[in-house]
């Protein structure tokens, strides 16, 4: 993107189509990679549990640890990218992502795997704190919904292929190959970025980085999410959760006094569109992310399907998300995002409600149809909501806005897994996968989880409707 002065003296923006094409290609690649790996790992959880003789709570942390680390560091790295350069932080993040993926493939115990997944999460925060900000920096405002729809389509393509290829890889070789694939794909994106990605974007160059605010933010998020995951079973976790909330309140108070804050707190209170769009994203991901994890376990441990078959059964949701996301994003360039997003969240909520009644005799056809319904709903929600967030702020805050939305997504996902971990602790406890008692106890935890998810989806609809009109195409 360049500045051009017209004969009338008015400064206008010139968007380079070749740069747009390269950035879009790279962002689409990263948008595919992480959900692919995440969904593929869900299919590998039972195999990881059997290899390491790990209980369900530890297996939950294979997923949750990655989300928690990503959520904790996303805002600091997004802000750092605004100051020092978004491309620079993106490439550094991709390098660390490839290394941590290789380490995951070599893990000798579930504890080592969880540690390497934490490193992988930190690297992911560098990537996703910058990718959407780079895309917003180079794409004209009136075309952002379409571009974000394409990015979302790649995300859901990753979700689609994750269960299929993940199930095939786990059944044919090993869950470790999933991380090897991530390592190779990351290396390809790194090489492409170094060779093809020209220019740099730093909307807040010259401003100071808020180190104290970053430490307060990361520490409070980790404490809140860690405490929440075991709050029903441990007094220690309750104390950590309360300390995290106190620390977060102190963080907000501290940020209000800073000249160059990690994130301007007023943006949430004075910018209604930004605040409620982020809130809608937080609740939406809290309600939906645990779905695939629970269904993977349900199909394999209750209904007895192998990983590959379970992957095919779970395919309808992400396929419809991939097909409909470009349409939904383009639609949000013309129709207010709150209308499209609210409709989508309502549809997803209906699907989550139906899953409360899963049992040993539930027909697979009904599961597939209900997943398709949720897929339609999520496609209508995601890219219009992203368009609403990114169009509600000025250019120098693109990195902060992208990181804020990413933080809401990751915190929501971590909260969703915390709900799953909490219900697993209550109803499954230390029962090993495959034991006689496991299936009955798991079904009860699944029922309670989906009751919570369905209730959350109702709140997400109200948050989405409350945002008001977004100024699409004006920044």
Which of 188, 461, 450 minimizes the C-alpha distance to 341? 461
- With 80 as the cut, is the pLDDT of residue 40 above it? no
- With 90 as the cut, is the pLDDT of residue 455 above it? yes
pLDDT tens sequence across 112-136? 888 999 998 888 888 876 777 777 7
Q: Which helix (H) or strand (E) holds 211?
A: helix 211-229
CA gap 337, 388 in Å, rounded: 6
- With 80 as the cut, is the pLDDT of residue 93 above it? yes
pLDDT at position 246: 93
- Section 320-343 average pLDDT: 77
Beta pairing partners, 3: 13
Collapsed DSSP state (helix, strand, coil) of residue 137: helix
Confidence tier at 453 by pLDDT (50, 70, 90): very high
pTM over 0.75: no
Tokens of 53: 């003789």
CA gap 74, 78 in Å, rounded: 6
In percent, how much of the chain has pLDDT > 90? 10
Residue with tokens 């039972």: 46
Q: Are 467 and 358 in contact (CB under 8 A)?
A: no
pLDDT at position 416: 86
Report CA-CA distances (Å) from 62 to 126, 160, 168, 406, 448: 20, 21, 20, 20, 22
- With 80 as the cut, is the pLDDT of residue 228 above it? no
Q: Give the residue, 96 or 394, on which the prediction is more confident.
A: 96
């Amino acid at each position: 993107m360049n500045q051009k002065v017209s004969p009338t003296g008015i400064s206008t923006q010139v968007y380079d189509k070749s740069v747009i094409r390269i950035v879009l290609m790279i962002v689409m690649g990263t948008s595919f990679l992480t959900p692919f790996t995440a969904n593929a790992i869900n299919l590998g959880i039972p195999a990881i549990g059997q290899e390491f003789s790990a209980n369900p709570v530890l297996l939950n942390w294979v997923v949750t640890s990655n989300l928690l680390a990503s959520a904790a560091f996303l805002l600091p790295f997004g802000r750092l990218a605004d100051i020092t350069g978004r491309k620079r932080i993106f490439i550094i993040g991709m390098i660390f992502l490839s290394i941590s993926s290789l380490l995951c493939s070599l893990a000798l115990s579930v504890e080592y795997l969880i540690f390497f997944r934490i490193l992988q999460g930190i690297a992911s925060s560098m990537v996703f704190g910058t990718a959407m900000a780079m895309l917003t920096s180079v794409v004209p405002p009136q075309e952002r919904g379409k571009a974000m729809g394409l990015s979302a389509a790649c995300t859901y393509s990753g979700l689609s292929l994750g269960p299929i290829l993940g199930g095939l890889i786990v059944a044919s070789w090993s869950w470790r190959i999933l991380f090897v694939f991530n390592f190779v794909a990351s290396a390809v994106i790194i090489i492409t970025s170094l060779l093809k990605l020209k220019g740099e974007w730093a909307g807040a160059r010259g401003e100071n980085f808020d180190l104290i605010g970053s430490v307060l933010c990361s520490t409070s998020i980790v404490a809140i999410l860690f405490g929440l995951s075991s709050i029903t079973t441990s007094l220690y976790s309750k104390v950590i959760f309360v300390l995290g909330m106190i620390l977060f309140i102190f963080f907000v108070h501290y940020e209000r006094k800073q000249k160059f804050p990690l994130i301007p707190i007023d943006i949430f209170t004075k910018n209604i569109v930004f605040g409620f769009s982020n809130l809608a994203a937080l609740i939406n991901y809290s309600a939906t992310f645990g779905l695939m994890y629970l269904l993977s376990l349900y199909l394999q441990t209750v209904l007895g399907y192998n990983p590959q078959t379970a992957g095919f059964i779970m395919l309808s949701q992400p396929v419809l998300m991939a097909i409909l996301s470009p349409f939904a994003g383009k639609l949000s360039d013309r129709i207010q995002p709150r209308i499209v997003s609210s409709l989508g969240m309502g549809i997803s909520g209906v699907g989550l409600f139906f899953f409360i009644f899963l049992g040993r005799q539930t027909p697979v056809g009904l599961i597939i149809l209900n997943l398709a319904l949720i897929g339609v709903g999520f496609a209508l929600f995601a890219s219009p909501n992203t368009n609403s967030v990114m169009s509600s702020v000025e250019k120098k805050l693109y990195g902060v806005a992208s990181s804020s939305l990413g933080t809401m997504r990751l915190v929501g996902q971590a909260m969703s897994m915390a709900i799953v971990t909490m219900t697993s602790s209550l109803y499954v406890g230390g029962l090993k996968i495959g034991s006689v008692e496991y299936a009955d106890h798991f079904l009860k935890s699944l029922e309670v989880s989906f009751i919570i998810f369905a209730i959350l989806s109702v709140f997400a609809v109200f948050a989405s409707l409350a945002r008001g009109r977004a100024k699409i195409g004006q920044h």
